[in-house]
Structure 1
Amino acid sequence: MNGNASLAIASPAIHTWSTEAVPLPQRLDYWIGAVCEGFLEMDVTSSCAGSFGATLESAPLGAIGVNRVRGSAQDVYRTRRAIAHSRSNYYYLLCKTDSPWVAVQEGRSARMLPGDVVLVDSRRCYELHLLQSADTLSLELPTGWVESWLPDASDQVARRIDGQTGWGRVLSGFAQQLSPQGVLRPPLPAALLTDHLGGLLALAAGTAAETSEAAAPGEGARAAQRRRVLDATRERHAEPGLTAASVARGLGISERSLHRSLNEGATTFAAALSGFRMQVARRMLGDARFDRLGIAEIGFRVGFSDASHFVRQCRRSLGLTPGALRRQR
């Protein structure tokens, strides 16, 4: 949501948009404008335009936005035109608990049951068909944040995560505890809650991917190798001078196969390694328990033997120096 960046810096507050503010004949048009202003550039239609009503509440939780939509049935379209006009893009993690609905992206159609969870990417066209009501929890997630938790995030969009079983059930239950009102005074530090969300998303998405791969052995084998490469890189990220060749040897595959598998997932070894290192560095710099460690020591612990290189990489990837990241906590 375009407003969330400022909300994360200023004093937390709930932003609310409601069709109650305008006469009934103008409510659908007002809602379309409100969605574009407060949520994302999208087109909206509704089969109940004559009696339409909806509200949108939004509040920040650290780097993410917690949004709650309530209202009439509607069809939401993220179009190429809307994408071209957007100033910011995000992933959205969506959960609806009261009735079935449908999410469409990348040629996939996810038929969602109450409590199920799905990820969509605002950089690509999608459709949301909210058939009976629009009552939905929508978590607005920065693209870099999602891709630090899901190396194959682009493969996860419009894949139904079963909200009744396994890690999907845990993710759904955790997400449902979030609300714009609740995150103004979170029960735990925002960084801890968002890290918990990221971990559950990674676990639940991995389970959903395994289910999908069972139906597509060829594609599944390639995706499985890519996950092996990424898991090994994540596991060894703290080794100074880690190379793709070393990871490939450890997995018993050729370096060429390693690079090919990562390229198919729209990433590179260097980008993946840097992402894992920066992810851990950001957590350590944001945690007071690590304040006894100097910047150079934190850099060494995440794989940088040169402190100046660590500082430059933080500035390039995270937008701030390590010292500034620690001070802004």
Structure 2
Amino acid sequence: MPIQPHAEAHRPPAAIERWSTDAVPPAQRLDYWVGAVCEGFLEMEVTSPQARHFDATLESAPLGTPELGIGVNRVRGSAQDVYRTRRAIERSRSNFYYLLCKTDTAWSVEQEGRSARMLPGDAVLVDSRRSYAFHFVQSADTISLELPTAWVESWLPDAPGQLACRIDGSAGWGSVLSRFVQQLTPEAASAPPLPPRLLADQLGGLLALATGPGVAAAVEPGARAALRRRVLEATRERHAEPGLTAEAVARELGISQR
């Protein structure tokens, strides 16, 4: 019997919100951009060596329902330095982890006393509850995924230890994660090719694989094999369910998604 597409895949396309400095005269564009970032993204401070000729756009769309809580953002524009300050954190109503991937030029990131030089295609995780700085030396063209803190920490038990650590986008699982993130544009989030929860599971699994060996190495061989059998059996029994997710299988077995 053919598998019916999940209802989530037939939701009307979500609206893509867009902010552009084209809306104001050149002299006002950097100030407008700071306001647009604070309204549509997160409260931050922005400076630019190209202030007199500044231009930028921000496009944003949710992935799935508000309950899923994942946002997809694409920033394009001039060179800039972005600062998440303690004052901005204190004024924020909500906070998230952000996974960033930039494919055109190198840039750098600082958080938690760490700094990393990012090469095109690399990815990095930051936490908006802590101060950070981004230095986009040539351009700011970036995909930035807004991720709920509890969701990230369900996949990465040591998420704070991963902050501002470069995820190599050219090798191993980091390259798979990078390609996935590059495809997860606001357009893809607005009209997802698969149920959003399946895409979220893929993202969480790839993030876990790309940031470390995983918890399986810490499990006794016999227990690991038994757990693997339970997961496989549950998956075989339910594989024909439309929109089956890792969360559903984990809930049935009483284990974490990771």
Matched, 1:52 2:54: yes
1:132 alignment partner AA: Q
RMSD between aligned residues: 3.1
Secondary structure of 1:169's match?
helix
- Percent sequence identity is 66
User: Distance in 1 between the 2:152 and 2:51 partners?
Assistant: 35
Matched, 1:228 2:218: yes
Secondary structure of 1:137's match?
strand
Q: 2:169·2:177 contact (CA, 8 Å) conserved in 1?
A: yes
Matched, 1:130 2:131: no
- For residues 90-145 of structure 1, the C-alpha deviation after alignment (integer angstroms, 9 at most, x for no partner) is 00000000000001001110100000000000000000000100100000000011
Secondary structure of 1:132's match?
strand
| Equivalent in the alignment of 1:86 | 92
Unaligned runs of 5+ in 2: 1-10, 228-237
Q: 1:96 aligns with which of 99, 102, 110?
A: 102
1:17 alignment partner AA: W
| Equivalent in the alignment of 2:16 | 14
Matched, 1:176 2:158: no
Q: 2:20·2:58 contact (CA, 8 Å) conserved in 1?
A: yes
Query: Runs of 4 or more off by more than 2 Å in structure 1?
Result: 224-229, 231-237, 287-290, 298-301
* Deviation at residue 228 of structure 1 after TM alignment: 2.5
Compared CA separation, residues 289 and 94, structure 1 to 2 (3 A)? closer
> Any residues of structure 2 matched to 1:205-244 within 5 Å, and which?
205-206=211-212, 228=218
1:43 alignment partner AA: E
| Equivalent in the alignment of 1:24 | 26
Matched, 1:109 2:99: no
* Deviation at residue 301 of structure 1 after TM alignment: 3.4
Q: 2:253 aligns with which of 301, 306, 329?
A: 301
| Equivalent in the alignment of 1:190 | 196
1:187 alignment partner AA: P
User: Distance in 1 between the 2:12 and 2:129 partners?
Assistant: 27
| Equivalent in the alignment of 1:267 | none
User: Distance in 2 between the 1:72 and 1:127 partners?
Assistant: 16
| Equivalent in the alignment of 1:216 | none
- For residues 138-193 of structure 1, the C-alpha deviation after alignment (integer angstroms, 9 at most, x for no partner) is 00000011001001001000000000000000000111011111222111111101
Which of 1 and 2 has higher RCO (CA within 8 Å, sep 6+)?
2
Normalising by structure 1, we get a TM-score of 0.63
Q: Which has the larger radius of gyration?
A: 1
| Equivalent in the alignment of 2:35 | 33
2:88 alignment partner AA: A
Q: 2:61·2:71 contact (CA, 8 Å) conserved in 1?
A: yes
| More helix per residue | 1
Query: How many residues are aligned here?
Result: 228
> Any residues of structure 2 matched to 1:307-322 within 5 Å, and which?
none
Compared CA separation, residues 127 and 10, structure 1 to 2 (3 A)? farther
User: Distance in 1 between the 2:53 and 2:95 partners?
Assistant: 31
Compared CA separation, residues 226 and 171, structure 1 to 2 (3 A)? closer
User: Distance in 2 between the 1:134 and 1:167 partners?
Assistant: 25
Secondary structure of 1:162's match?
coil
Normalising by structure 2, we get a TM-score of 0.80
| More strand per residue | 2
Compared CA separation, residues 46 and 236, structure 1 to 2 (3 A)? farther
